[in-house]
Structure 1
């Protein structure tokens, strides 16, 4: 007997969604063109020299009607080996936040640009104009493109900022330690959901991960249940409660902590323990840098 699935199990591809196609045979790239099977050479702006043998090409079309080609090539170069002997002053702990996007164990704070919040009024105006348009009309199609372009500008600005920040962190350190964040669960907080989504913690950690792999460096994710904010980084005494409104606090040992910097230092300590447990050598700390604010151009 034939078994039928409910309609809820089927996922239909949206007409106006992102479209993509993958090609791994009969593909080639020139100075200003790409070639895929059953098509004549397609004019393209190749912004980077392709080194090695082209293995595949993925074509994609964005919601705004722009076409991109992602090219995979084998350059025959071996991936750099990961560093085995690390220096503690070249290991940095990073605490993710909302007011400040990234707080390091050296005391540097990178402010959160809040790209979505800055574009909120413009997005609201365009989305209201879209909702007033009749479905299926040319006016609605134009209004939809304006909304898509506004969202695209926000995404591009956030990606650009995160690429620069992640590269700076990887270039300056041999290992970067971060928390394991369950962003999907955190988005259930109605008051902070929009701010958390705007921060883009997951995409920043993803960029850190592949950049570290390319450079032969380490990205370490510590346990999500580790109480980095409630633990004193000097005496390791854990406080019973630490609500979000408390931004600085004093431990019974006399140490006065900035909540976020203290959390980053605890994250670094846990990361070093994890690196040593994996059999890596971490030398003694050569001292901390002076605290300040790290400025990254968006």
Structure 2
């Protein structure tokens, strides 16, 4: 079974001085057009209560190009400028849909330097990509081939803070949806001592990428602090700091890609816990470690890969007491501080805190699949536009409760696993009850 998806492949390239100058001008013009259109739309609504659409800003761009002050906008390709207006329109759409905050102006120092080209603004032939306003193709390092005979529909050129140039090509790809190779179902609990704990009892070590380069990062920041503002030495020192950060980010992303790919290939159903990372980083004692673990990035990768490969991803409610609940008898402990890594239930079972939480998350996820309960509705995902509580393949209608109940027979292995967990809990509770002496009058 296969699945057709849109996939962006990112490559590094090395522009010559003329290409670098042309792209730098394009980045500046894109930022200027975006900011001017945002200012025009904001003033129109603030002063005149008037809504400005994308078509109006496109007409404004044409008029801007005819002025003497903004005539330099004609020196770069018009497609990235039009795409900037479309990005602004999408930002407003997300704002009115309450998926994002009000659009903000792009900063020359802090904003991402990028430009998007559509098919009319580039030429791709025989593995050579040439952008508009350029005479020579880009020197791209093809670390992997494009899928099949695919031709890119959109090209995005960007430059990161470390000075590296990247090109992202959006292509049509076909994903082979192979069956799961291992357990079939797994519960995942995210942590700091162990990055992930699986319901199978396996613990995945936290690499702590930021801690490995903490000394080099501190040394680079000290050198940056000593340099004079606006000097060339400060620019070089800032570049060294950015390169350390880029090395940490690349290692973290690579590790998460390998980890999520393995989970998706081995399991048909994956159950995770909904974590509010934005609130958790307010704990200043753990903020650095939580940010280094990148739980949100892990979930994002898991969501789109599960959708690609036809897997079921269930997200358990953030208030579900996975750590305090005994996975054997179902008893709930009163308190469970973070320093308690193992505990013994009154039924006599000793639990590892993280593995026990993963098993409880799995059991709760199985109940969600069987009954549709136990999960609080989440806000829509920005990638799929659907609720992230339970991910279903795209293109299928929303199921009614009766239809979902009719589908339970299709989840026989999952229900069997849930019944086994329930039977184990009942047998444990019954054995504990028989061992308890009867009270006498």
Q: Distance in 1 between matches of 2:113 and 2:262?
A: 33
* 2-structure distance, mates of 1:193, 1:249: 26
Alpha-carbon deviation of 1:9? 8.2
Provide the residue aligned with 1:33 in structure 2. 128
1:251 aligned partner? 345
Moved more, 15-24 or 27-36: 27-36
Structure 1 residue aligned with 2:157: 59
Give the Cα–Cα distance (whole angstroms) in 2 for the partners of residues 81 and 116 of structure 1. 35
Higher helix share: 2
Matched, 1:102 2:234: no
- Call closer, same or farther: CA 1:191–1:56 in 2, change over 3 Å: same
Matched, 1:186 2:280: yes
62-71 or 31-40: which moved more? 31-40
| CA distance in structure 1 between the aligned counterparts of 2:355 and 2:216, rounded to whole angstroms | 35
Query: Which residue of structure 2 aligns with residue 44 of structure 1?
Result: 140
Structure 2, gaps ≥5 residues long: 1-42, 48-101, 373-403, 422-441
Structure-2 separation of matches of 1:208 and 1:160: 14
Q: Any conservation in 2 of the 1:248–1:257 contact (CA below 8 Å)?
A: yes
Name the counterpart of 2:271.
177
Going from structure 1 to structure 2, the CA distance change for 1:88 and 1:18 (only over 3 Å counts) comes to closer
Q: Which has the higher contact order (CA 8 A, sep 6+)?
A: 1
Task: With the length of structure 2 as denominator, give the TM-score of the two structures.
Answer: 0.59
Q: CA deviation at 1:249?
A: 1.0
2:181 and 2:266 in contact (8 A); partners too: no
SS of structure 1 residue aligned to 2:265:
helix
1:285 corresponds to which residue?
A: 417
Please give the alpha-carbon distance, in whole angstroms, between the structure 1 residues aligned to 2:141 and 2:229: 35
What's the CA shift for 1:212? 1.4
Say which of 108, 111, 114 aligns to 1:20.
Answer: 114
Q: Which residue of 1 aligns with 2:251?
A: 157
1:165-218 deviation line (CA, Å, top 9, x unaligned): 111111111111110110000000011000101111111111111111121112
Deviation at 1:237, TM superposition (A): 1.3
C-alpha distance in 2 between matches for 1:88 and 1:265: 17
Residue 201 of structure 1: aligned partner: 295
Which structure has the highest strand share of the two?
1
Alpha-carbon distance in structure 2 between the residues aligned to 1:9 and 1:47 = 35
Please tell me the root mean square deviation across aligned C-alpha atoms, in Å: 2.7
1:31 Cα shift? 4.7
| 248-257 or 225-234, larger mean C-alpha shift | 248-257
Tell me the SS of whatever aligns to 1:227.
coil
Deviation, 1:16, is 5.7
Identify if the C-alpha distance between structure 1 residues 268 and 87 changes in structure 2 by more than 3 Å, giving closer, same or farther: farther
- Mean CA deviation greater in 279-288 or 161-170: 279-288
TM-score of the superposed pair, with normalisation by structure 1:
0.86
The alignment status of 1:273 with 2:367, answered yes or no, reads: yes
Summarize deviations over 1:24-52 as a string: whole Å, max 9, x none: 22234345531233333322122232232
Rounded to whole Å, the distance in 1 between the matches of 2:309 and 2:181 is 16
SS at match of 1:54: coil
Which runs of structure 2 are paired with 1:62-73 in the superposition (5 Å)? 62-73=160-171
CA distance in 2, matches of 1:216, 1:82: 9
Within the candidate set 340, 354, 357, 1:260 is matched to: 354
Contact 2:181 2:265 in 1 (8 A): no
Please give the alpha-carbon distance, in whole angstroms, between the structure 2 residues aligned to 1:12 and 1:114.
32
Asked if structure 2 preserves the Cα contact closer than 8 Å seen for 1:87 and 1:285, the reply is no
For 1:57 and 1:92, how far apart are their aligned partners in 2?
37
How many residues of Structure 1 are paired with residues of Structure 2 in the alignment? 282
Q: Give the superposition deviation at 1:127.
A: 0.3
TM-superposed CA distance for 1:108, in Å, is 0.3
Q: Is the 8 A contact 2:182 2:267 kept in 1?
A: no
Tell me, which stretches of 5 or more residues in structure 1 are unaligned?
A: 289-298
